[in-house]
Amino acid sequence: MLGRLRRWLPEGRPLPDEVWQRRHTVLLRLAAVQAVAIGVLALLRDWSPAAALAASAAAAYPLSFCLLPGASRTLRAAGTTASLLATSVLLVHVADGLTEAHFHFFVVVGLVSLYQDRLPFGLALAVVVLHHGAVGTLFPHSVFDHDAAFRHPWLWACVHGGFVLAASLANLASWRLNERQGLHDPLTGLANRTRLVQGIVARLARRGGQVSVLFLDLDDFKDVNDTRGHAAGDELLVTIAERLRACTREDDEVGRLGGDEFAVVVDGDADEAAAVGERVLAALAEPIDIGGRPLAVHVSIGVADTATAGDRRPGTLLRNADLAMYRAKALGKNRLVRYLPGMAEAAQDEVDLLADLSLATSSGQLEVHYQPTVDLSDGRTTGYEALVRWHHPTRGLVPPAEFIPQAEAGGQVVEIGAWVLEQAVRQAAVWSAEAGRPVGMAVNLSPRQLDDDGVVALVAATLADAGLPAGQLTLEVTEGVLLRDVDRVVGRLAALRELGVRIAIDDFGTGYSSMSYLRRLPADVLKIDRSFVAELGSDGRSTTLVASMIELARSLGLEVVAEGVETARQHALLGDLACSHAQGHLFGRPQPAHDVPAAPVVVPAPRAEPVATV
């Protein structure tokens, strides 16, 4: 019962100091004017000057508490409320108990509601009941104006108290509704940013221990809005809010900061918050049904606590958690990262890098390097993969892992990708003409490029301009595209394949490797991720896993390319497992076109030692 009453009552959100002070000043002046006015009215009602002066003094006296140095909000609000109520009491006496004079109490109840504090309401109720009951018993004609009240003053005191209580409850209900409207997200019903900040402030004020914040940002949420519409996006946000509520603790506060950003405030250190974050990742790993179609959702999470904040301010906690979240995105998304000192500087460095990247293409800082792909049956080079490199004027050679994720997030990857495609296709045409045979070329196609409506026309125009047969071009996409709108992805890849180009699934085994999705994708090549190749031969399980991937590709009619081959032993084992093609430093490092040998070295397969499989 008490719990339900507590939920019904206003949460007691304190007004900002400047707002409270403005309201208090208005009420203080109004109380002072009323104190003077009640004395004047008493004179007009034939009270003696001394009595009228005493009435004004009685009404004004509580205001003196507002002038005490260091007086708290509560004391000042109580003083002003007492003055206003004293005026109401005196008005009843000056009017000889006239019923209409009692209406002033309801006016006071409305005025003191501006403080957004429960104390004035309780004070008003107590004054009405005690005054009407006690004084009405001793001097009934001064309080009431009808016989029933003269005979039963306490009963009528309670009746008047009931009306004041009703007026108070009406104001409390309005206050509660305004709080909920101003403190909760209208779409999900979660706390909004204002409420979350207040929750952090309250926790920091009442606890000597640590407080943590999780900052959550949905990965690629814009793609959902773009491909399925904003209604589907809203439905997704509501479902995510429900899952967040379900996997957090009762004392945790979950809120939506705006857009696709959420936060969770946790009473505890980073370890406790990380445990909550892991539950969130697990809860969101299950695909969500949106409009009758499943949608896989990933989220990047940053965690920060007061131990690493340097101070106990809510803004610092949110900023640090936000920085950790962006670090999670930079590391590949769909993961949890804890804030560490120095992340702010690293974030600024990434901002500067992204600004420089916007000029890299036009200023000639980018260069395409080419890594050979070999046929493991005879060791001959059959084609190349185009890999972009960035020669920064002050930083030197910037590794792709440092700028490609930023380019993807910032949108520059579309421009960069188009430039790489043009360079690679032209180079393949030149090498084919020089060799007198077809030379294949593989180019990576990022998720953002694949989402671009003009990608099919771009590929077709690039092939036509260079005069390269479409069959010599392979476009590589990662398994991450499976996490988007599968029907849209399949349609886009099918349109590209109709041009005659080949489609490769890159980094296989590191993403959402669903057999049903793989069967639907219009693919020609499956590339085994280097992490599996690196373990090849170290134990039987690794070999069995790679063998299973090769067999899976064969069953789907796909060509297989093993990435990251660096040792002769890996080369030999892949040959024994009937892998058709491979890439890696063993066959050649990525290098500029002018450094690629005219007659690539043939790397024959060595003989492998037998490795037991399980």
Q: What is the mean pLDDT of residues 588-606?
A: 80
Indicate whether 347 belongs to any domain. Answer: no
Indicate whether 610 belongs to any domain. Answer: no
CATH of the domain at 561: 3.20.20.450
Indicate whether 357 belongs to any domain. Answer: no
What's the residue count for the chain? 614
- Between CA 46 and CA 41 the distance in angstroms is 9
| Range scoring the smallest mean pLDDT among 3-7, 222-226, 236-240 | 3-7
The strand pairing partners of 506, in sequence order, are 478
CATH of the domain at 302: 3.30.70.270
State which H helix or E strand residue 596 sits in: none
pLDDT given for residue 179 in this prediction: 55
Same domain, 465 and 579: yes
Q: What is the pTM of this model?
A: 0.57
> How many percent of the chain have pLDDT more than 90?
37
Q: What is the DSSP letter of 134?
A: I
Query: Do 219 and 300 contact (CB within 8 A), yes or no?
Result: yes
- Between CA 82 and CA 65 the distance in angstroms is 10
pLDDT given for residue 614 in this prediction: 39
pLDDT in tens, 98-133: 877 777 777 777 777 777 776 777 777 777 777 777
Same domain, 172 and 298: no
Q: Where among 341, 356, 381 does a domain terminate? A: 341
Indicate whether 265 belongs to any domain. Answer: yes
The strand pairing partners of 375, in sequence order, are 581
Q: Where among 165, 183, 201 does a domain terminate? A: 183
pLDDT in tens, 509-547: 665 555 656 777 789 999 998 888 988 877 778 888 899
Q: Where among 274, 306, 341 does a domain terminate? A: 341
The DSSP string of 294-308 is: EE---EEEEEEETTT
Q: Name residues whose C-beta falls within 8 Å of residue 327's C-beta, 6 or more positions apart in sequence.
A: 302, 337, 343, 346, 347
Average per-residue pLDDT for the chain: 84
The strand pairing partners of 191, in sequence order, are 184, 255
Same domain, 144 and 246: no
pLDDT given for residue 465 in this prediction: 96
Same domain, 421 and 489: yes
Helix axes 153-183 and 119-130, enclosed angle (nearest 10): 170
pLDDT given for residue 153 in this prediction: 78
> How many percent of the chain have pLDDT more than 70?
87
Which domain does 446 fall in, by range? 364-595
Residue 473: pLDDT above 50? yes
pLDDT in tens, 300-359: 999 999 888 878 888 889 999 999 998 888 777 899 999 988 887 777 777 788 888 888
Q: Name the band, by pLDDT with cuts 50, 70 and 90, for residue 152.
A: confident
Same domain, 128 and 107: yes
Indicate whether 451 belongs to any domain. Answer: yes
Residue 431: pLDDT above 60? yes
Same domain, 299 and 248: yes
- Between CA 77 and CA 57 the distance in angstroms is 19
Domain count within the chain: 3
Same domain, 428 and 315: no
Same domain, 150 and 273: no
Indicate whether 542 belongs to any domain. Answer: yes
Beta strand segments in 354-454, E:
366-375, 381-392, 396-398, 440-444
Indicate whether 503 belongs to any domain. Answer: yes
Same domain, 115 and 199: no
Same domain, 406 and 434: yes
Indicate whether 351 belongs to any domain. Answer: no
pLDDT given for residue 384 in this prediction: 96
Same domain, 458 and 494: yes
| Range scoring the smallest mean pLDDT among 149-163, 272-286, 490-504 | 149-163
pLDDT given for residue 423 in this prediction: 96
pLDDT given for residue 512 in this prediction: 52
Q: What is the mean pLDDT of residues 134-138?
A: 73
State which H helix or E strand residue 271 sits in: helix 270-285
pLDDT given for residue 176 in this prediction: 61
Same domain, 413 and 546: yes
The strand pairing partners of 527, in sequence order, are 561
pLDDT given for residue 113 in this prediction: 76
